Amino acid sequence: MADHPRIEELKRRVEKDPASLAFAHLAEEYRRAGRHAQAVATCRAGLKFHPTYLLARVTLGRVLIEIGDLDAAQAELQAVMSAAPDNLAAIRGLADIHRRRGELQEALDYYRWAQEFARQDPDLEQHVRELKVRVERGSRAETRPRPAETPLHLAPPSEPATQATATPGPLSPARAAPVLPVAAADRARESDEAQRRLAVFTRFLGAILADRERRQAGR
């Protein structure tokens, strides 16, 4: 079965000149066609000639996500982010990696970061909306108070309540751990979320500064 004309054309260009930048476009066509093994092989072969070609690294990262090699995909996309912290495709790829791993807060942070560069993207809006609900549900589940244990020393119902609480035993409510008020728990949860978002922003800022230093050193 013959390849698509676009793939045939790109294959001829790469075969004629293995160092041609057309390898990145060929790899992307393979990815879109679901030919993942060929996409990975084409990317890696071309990156030997052009290791800093970000378009190819993004394609490689996306293919690796699709085949489930999330660690390798993360390494590729983080390399892209270190050189170009505003690369939307890399940001979205990292968001997808965290979502697949079940790291919902981290995924939400990356999708929100992507929205800074694509504010009207309906897919990003849907991801953010769905993840917000799931993260909030998880937070509520974590902060929901556990049922209090029944003290073993409670007096029979016929005895006065004061007699049962006058000399509290080891499991008495008087010695139970205090439960945070709802408002305090909410503030603590909001503080944790703010710290996570700050950590994401700090990573992006560090990548920007590192890239700037590399460029200055190369002058």
Identify the CATH class of 1-84.
Answer: mainly alpha
pLDDT tens for 5-62 read: 999 999 999 999 999 999 999 999 999 999 999 999 999 999 999 999 999 999 999 9
Averaged pLDDT for residues 80-106? 96
Angle, nearest 10°, between helix axes 54-66 and 22-32? Answer: 20
CA distances from 159 to 83, 174, 184, 219 (A): 74, 18, 37, 87
Checking if the pLDDT of 159 tops 90, the result is no
Cβ atoms of residues 46 and 75 within 8 Å:
no
Q: What is the mean pLDDT of the chain?
A: 79
The pLDDT-based confidence of 161 (bands split at 50, 70, 90) is very low
Higher pLDDT pick, 171 / 104: 104
Angle of helix 104-115 relative to helix 88-101, nearest 10 degrees, comes to 160
Q: What percent of the chain has pLDDT over 70?
A: 63
Q: Where are the domains of the chain?
A: 1-84, 103-140+180-219
Q: What is the pLDDT of residue 188?
A: 55
Q: Could you tell me which residues come within 8 angstroms of residue 179 by beta carbon, excluding any fewer than 6 positions away?
A: 145
Pairwise CA distance, residues 155 & 163, whole Å: 8
Higher pLDDT residue, 184 or 124?
124
